[in-house]
Amino acid sequence: MNLKNIDSERLIQELQNRGYIRVLWHRDDVVSTAEEMNITLNDDEISFVMDEIEADHDANYGVNWDFIQIKINDVISNRENKIE
């Protein structure tokens, strides 16, 4: 099955059928967390945060709201360093 053009509910069902558990995060989770932090991220920054979450998460701790906030703060730090 090609997963590229599949809706989210079918994707979840297909992953479960393949033996995966259902623990998924969406870019909207990053956007809403940033908004709660009074931060607006552009599309590139959202993608960067998502990539960093995937690359840096520790299976011992998983991904949680605090981890997402840390990654958002990393983007803000990078933003500020580029300005200086």
> Per-residue pLDDT tens for 6-48?
677 888 888 889 998 877 789 999 999 999 999 999 999 999 9
The pair of three-digit structure tokens given for residue 23, joined into one six-digit string: 């623990």
Q: How far is 39 from 36, CA to CA, in rounded Å?
A: 7
Q: Which residues contact 35 (CB under 8 A, 6 or more apart)?
A: none
Per residue in 43-79, pLDDT (tens digit) is 999 999 999 999 998 889 889 999 999 999 999 998 8
The pair of three-digit structure tokens given for residue 49, joined into one six-digit string: 């945060």
